[in-house]
Amino acid sequence: GAGVSQSPSNKVTEKGKDVELRCDPISGHTALYWYRQSLGQGLEFLIYFQGNSAPDKSGLPSDRFSAERTGGSVSTLTIQRTQQEDSAVYLCASSSPFVAPETQYFGPGTRLLVL
């Protein structure tokens, strides 16, 4: 596609429910990143994929958070048993190491509200 797309654009859920957020990176981009933007906290790194592997999961806040990537393309971020503090904008980015300088291109984000 022309850019990084994310779905849904908005999600409202009840505390304790599971949610899945989807990211479609730019075609051909091998690297994919998830970030979270919370009110007053700024943007924080969650996880990085190179192909289907996640060499850096250091930013995942708890074991309720998991992510996977299939076919070197689409990625899903799953939050189990959501809590109110999970409310934030979840941003996905992709990049290609074959294009210098390597720049991360961001999607529009998914706005998650946990009631």
Establish if 103 lies at the interface with other proteins (CB under 8 A). Answer: yes
To other proteins, the closest distance from the beta carbon of 41 in angstroms equals: 8
By DSSP bridging, strand 42-50 and strand 19-24 are unpaired
Smaller CB distance to other proteins: residue 80 or 108?
Answer: 108
Size of the site for other proteins (CB under 8 A): 26
Establish if 43 lies at the interface with other proteins (CB under 8 A). Answer: yes
Nearest to 20 by CA among 34, 32, 30: 34
Nearest to 77 by CA among 30, 2, 18, 27: 18
Establish if 91 lies at the interface with other proteins (CB under 8 A). Answer: yes
- Return the residues of window 46-65 that contact other proteins according to CB under 8 A: 48, 50, 56, 58-59
Rounded Cα gap, residues 115 and 113, in angstroms: 6
Smaller CB distance to other proteins: residue 3 or 16?
Answer: 3
Rounded Cα gap, residues 114 and 66, in angstroms: 17
Establish if 105 lies at the interface with other proteins (CB under 8 A). Answer: yes
